[in-house]
Amino acid sequence: MSPSSFSHHASRRPLRRLALELVLVIFAKIAFLMLIWWLLFAPHPKPDASADAIARRLAPSSAHPETHP
């Protein structure tokens, strides 16, 4: 094996390892963020978005407003 091909092969391996570590770190961060999202947001019930529920929210109050002089 000539010295030039050996140095080329030796310099290529750390780049492959670095790329693998980078991909693993990215996947770990994504998994961590998904875990945080699941713990904070998934247990909460979804709001009722039906037309009747929206109409009730937007309807004027049924209580008589107090009149101020």
Alpha helices in 1-69 (DSSP H): 3-40, 51-58
Contacts with 47 (C-beta within 8 Å, 6 or more apart), sequence order: 53
Q: What pLDDT is stored for residue 59 in this prediction?
A: 85
Q: What pLDDT is stored for residue 40 in this prediction?
A: 86
Residue 54 backbone zone (phi > 0: left; psi -120 to 50: alpha; other: beta): alpha
Query: Looking at the whole model, is its pTM more than 0.85?
Result: no
- Give the chain's residues under pLDDT 70: 1-12, 62-69
